[in-house]
Amino acid sequence: MVTVCLLPSMWLAMGTSHLGLKIYCVTVLVTQIVTLPSFYLQPDSYRFSDHRPFGFGALDALQAFLTLGLFLWLLVFLIKIIERVYDSSVKQNAVANAMSDMDHRRGVLSIHAPNHNIIAISILCLMAISLPVKLWMFEVGIGLVGAPPPELPYRLSGILFYLFNYLVPLVVAYLYIKTKRNSLLLALTVSLYAVLIGVLSVSKSVVLIPMASIIAFAWLDKRWGILICGSILSGIGVLVVVGARAIVHVVDGLGSFTELGAWGTLIEVFADFSWSPEMLLVFVDIASRFEGFQSMYLTSQFDSDAAGGAWNIFLKVASFGQWGYVDHDAIHMEYLGYTYPAGFYGVGATFNSWMMMAASKNILMVLPFVIHAGTFLVILEKTLKRVARKYSLQPAIEQSVLFFSVMWFYTAPATLICFMLLAASLVFSFFPVMVVRRKPSYGK
């Protein structure tokens, strides 16, 4: 059923030149294929029995998949039309564009190819510096749920949390992308680093930030050995973090138990580790971090009138959360079982979930979401390509920015950050290139 409804649109997407569209469609197909069996094979893990008892038959999901398949097919169709119109206009001005590119390249400073050994050494140095800091942060309870942070001056607790939980892993991922990405040893080293900082942060997201660059670009580069090893280590990292949470987090949120220390906690996790086939479901957990079948299906059953109507839901997404108003109490959702928190992240946060909510009573509401998604993806990719050409960026950097931007649009479309990503690409694509020219020196 998933294959019949979703595979045609992904197959059509692979025939386009839009990498962002391919990333979007592949993510939808993979997450649904991975999470659908778990939903039906593990009814005990269903958490909303008080609001809607688990009694779903296999064909109950067909209507939801038909809606999702229709949305993806129309999205691909729209982007193919835009691509054909754009390509025809480009061919008419091919000579002018070629001459313009030649003139532009003469005016931009040449950028030497990066030394991959230096970049690899920089990654190792950055990891060597950050690990002792993360060990100290774990010992004093900075960034751990339930542990009050120490009273440090100048808001250092918050600065350290965001710096070493998100910024440093992102820099490591960025530097890894700039390497040749053909070293299994470097990929394993970064993966081990991701697992360690994930345990020290007791956060699955911290594990997946560096791992995302390894897995995504191993797939793009067709390096299947690194892809397999990265996928396995990401699963192990999530399992280790879950084990660390069982030790660190105290029941009822009364505090965090860090008396064992970082290494003691890690040893305790491996000491209590026991293999079971159910651990393979960790990949279901990773896929659900993006979008699981349960959230997609339940949002298709949502009564859009409870949130001010379908158009109000669309305005919330299209305006990046600035115009549309969706009452938190109205989204209590008998089907989802809890109120959305501020910022609208959670079960129904993805673009597909918002679309399914709006189209639950009127299938034609798929159309404005198709137009919005198609416009966003095309503008984002075209502007990023223009920025890369203007500033002579490596294709890997352009692809990495596109990957993370598309994933952000996929998982959190109704946010201001999503708007800022699009606005930044537009500004840099139209802003004149800053060129540093040396002033000629004249002899006497």
Query: Model confidence over 14-70: pLDDT tens digits?
Result: 888 888 999 999 889 888 888 888 777 777 777 666 656 677 776 778 888 999 999
- CA gyration radius, the chain: 24
What's the burial of 389, exposed, middle or buried (CB within 10 Å: 0-12/13-18/19+)?
middle
**Whether the predicted pLDDT of 277 surpasses 70:** no
Q: Give dist(CA 208, CA 243) in Å, integer.
A: 16
Please tell me the least confidently modeled range out of 11-20, 88-97, 187-196. Answer: 88-97
Token reading at 315: 């305005």
Q: Is 0.75 surpassed by the pTM of this model?
A: no
* Domain ranges for the chain: 2-85+293-430, 116-259
Q: Give dist(CA 111, CA 393) in Å, integer.
A: 9
In this prediction, residue 265 carries a pLDDT of: 75
Q: Give dist(CA 187, CA 153) in Å, integer.
A: 37
Q: What is the mean pLDDT of the chain?
A: 77
**Whether the predicted pLDDT of 338 surpasses 50:** no
Max avg pLDDT among 90-99, 278-287, 417-426: 417-426
In this prediction, residue 124 carries a pLDDT of: 92
CA distances to 256, 414, 425 from 407, rounded to whole Å, are 32, 13, 15
Q: Give dist(CA 91, CA 81) in Å, integer.
A: 16
Q: Give dist(CA 33, CA 287) in Å, integer.
A: 10
Q: Give dist(CA 336, CA 349) in Å, integer.
A: 12
Residue 126's pLDDT band, with cuts at 50, 70 and 90, is very high
Task: Kindly state the average pLDDT of the residues 352-377.
Answer: 92
Task: State residue 249 phi and psi, 5-degree precision.
Answer: -80, 125
- Above pLDDT 70, what percent of the chain? 74
Task: Kindly state the average pLDDT of the residues 353-372.
Answer: 91
In this prediction, residue 75 carries a pLDDT of: 95
**Whether the predicted pLDDT of 342 surpasses 60:** no
Contact, 330 vs 344, CB < 8 A? no
Three-state secondary-structure class, residue 42: coil
In this prediction, residue 301 carries a pLDDT of: 77
